[in-house]
């Protein structure tokens, strides 16, 4: 005997299927194809499944070079520093630039000093509280490299973001120290192309500027993260010029602050104010800044209190008040640790972590940066 299916039953079944499909879609991991047409990957395949913390530099001939750390996962002993060169509109396959035996490497930084040496700074050690700084240089724009030099204990070089190399050749590196429940920014300043450094700091946030903070800034599914709600302080500063001897650093803060923080120098980086928050959120994630040739400041950061998406670009005439003008990523996932430079032709070159799987690259025309 045939049974009649009641319309209510059909409606229930339809709603159930729709809800199930929606739930599955919400749990689907991010696609391996970028949604933004401006975004390209530096590589499609690589001898490592996980990548993070990229840096980019324009070479003397106009080519680009990027570097990052890659391995099975952040903090694993097999994590090494990898790099790639871009020439004629094409990224070449990744090559290994540095590896430390039995311990992971971290946070590479590429930049030139005034003596035309291309430097690669990086860190190694089991975790950020136990880092040792290391570096090597190239005199042929990254084709060959000097032996690795270990820095004296207490010196790290630029900790994640590129340093400011002033017109007179003085290098102002933003660095930081992460200890148990307490972070602080320092400046390593060199007047001899990195042969010696003066260490300046610490730069911290006065206790009276802390508010209630933000709860659970980074979800557990972000690799390498945890609830940093008990830690105070700032790390990973990006240093820019505001004109003349005026410098400013932009720093990452913890959940106790939850804002991008700044500190200032009026003497070319010899002395600094203590840090204070801007009216921009920071979800305990890296950021970067660059001063354009016309004096404007471009900031790249995650404009959110939670997680590491979206990834945003903002511009300012005074380095204080910013206008957002581009959203590079807004899909679920992690888009973090950006690095931005201005090329010789004025255009912007950007790299960042794409879901811990790949390193993304964006070329942005200067005309796309608003003037107001």
- What's the pLDDT at 6? 45
Give the tens place of pLDDT for each residue, 35-88. Answer: 889 999 999 999 999 999 999 999 999 999 999 999 999 999 999 999 999 999
Residue 214 reports pLDDT greater than 80: no
Give the contacts of 221 (CB within 8 A, at least 6 positions apart).
none
Average pLDDT, stretch 211-223? 58
Mean pLDDT of 295-324: 97
The rounded mean pLDDT for the chain is 90
**DSSP letter for each residue of 253-318:** E-TTT-EEEEEEESSTTSS-PPPEEEEEE--S---EEEE-TTS-EEEEE--SSSSB--EEEEEESS
Tell me what pLDDT residue 255 has: 85
Report the b/e string of 168-197 with b at 16+ CB within 10 A.
Answer: eebbbbbbbbbeeeebbbbbbbbeebbeeb
Provide the pLDDT for residue 213. Answer: 73
Q: What is the pLDDT of residues 104-157, one digit of tens each?
A: 999 999 999 999 999 999 999 999 999 999 999 999 999 999 999 999 999 999
CB 121 within 8 A of CB 136: no
For range 359-370, the mean pLDDT:
97
CATH architecture of 35-368: 6 Propeller (2.120)
Q: Tell me what pLDDT residue 27 has.
A: 44
Instruction: Tell me 30's DSSP state.
Output: P
CA distance 351 to 51: 12
% of residues, the chain, pLDDT over 70: 88
Length of the chain: 372
Q: What is the pLDDT of residues 153-191, one digit of tens each?
A: 999 999 999 999 999 999 999 999 999 889 999 999 999
Cα(358)–Cα(192) distance, rounded to whole angstroms?
Answer: 36
- Unique residue bearing structure tokens 């010696």: 196
Q: What is the structure's pLDDT at 97?
A: 98
């Amino acid at each position: 005997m045939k049974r009649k299916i009641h319309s209510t039953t059909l409606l229930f079944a339809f709603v159930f299927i729709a809800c199930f499909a929606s739930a599955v879609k919400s749990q689907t991991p991010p696609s391996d194809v970028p949604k933004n047409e401006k975004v390209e990957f530096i590589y499609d395949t690589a001898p490592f499944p996980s990548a993070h913390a990229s840096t980019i530099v324009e070479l003397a001939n106009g080519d680009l070079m990027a570097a990052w750390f890659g391995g099975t996962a952040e903090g694993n002993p097999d994590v090494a520093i990898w790099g790639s060169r871009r020439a004629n509109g094409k990224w070449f396959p990744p090559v290994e630039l540095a590896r430390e035996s039995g311990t992971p490497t971290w946070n590479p930084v590429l930049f030139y000093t005034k003596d035309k040496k291309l430097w690669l700074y990086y860190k190694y050690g089991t975790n950020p509280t136990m880092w040792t700084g290391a570096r090597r240089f190239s005199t042929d724009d990254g084709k060959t490299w000097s032996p690795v030099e270990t820095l004296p204990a207490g010196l790290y070089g630029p900790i994640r973001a590129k340093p400011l190399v002033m017109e007179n050749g003085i290098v102002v590196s933003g660095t930081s120290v992460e200890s148990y429940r307490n972070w602080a920014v320092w400046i390593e300043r060199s007047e001899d192309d990195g042969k010696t450094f003066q260490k300046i700091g610490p730069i911290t946030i006065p206790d009276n500027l802390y508010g209630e903070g933000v709860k659970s800034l980074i979800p557990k599914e972000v690799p390498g993260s945890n609830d940093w709600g008990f830690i105070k302080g700032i790390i990973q500063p990006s240093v820019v010029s505001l004109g003349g001897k005026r410098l400013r650093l932009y720093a990452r803060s913890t959940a106790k602050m939850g804002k991008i923080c700044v500190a200032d120098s009026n003497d070319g980086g010899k002395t600094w104010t203590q840090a204070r928050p801007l009216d921009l959120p920071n979800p305990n994630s890296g950021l970067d800044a660059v001063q354009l040739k016309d004096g404007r400041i471009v900031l790249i950061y995650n404009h959110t209190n939670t997680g590491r998406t979206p990834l945003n670009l903002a511009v300012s005439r005074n380095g204080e008040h910013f206008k957002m003008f581009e959203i590079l990523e807004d899909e679920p996932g992690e888009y973090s640790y950006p690095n931005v430079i201005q090329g010789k032709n004025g255009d912007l070159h950007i790299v960042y972590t794409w879901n811990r799987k790949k390193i993304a690259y964006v070329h942005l025309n200067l005309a796309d940066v608003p003037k107001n």
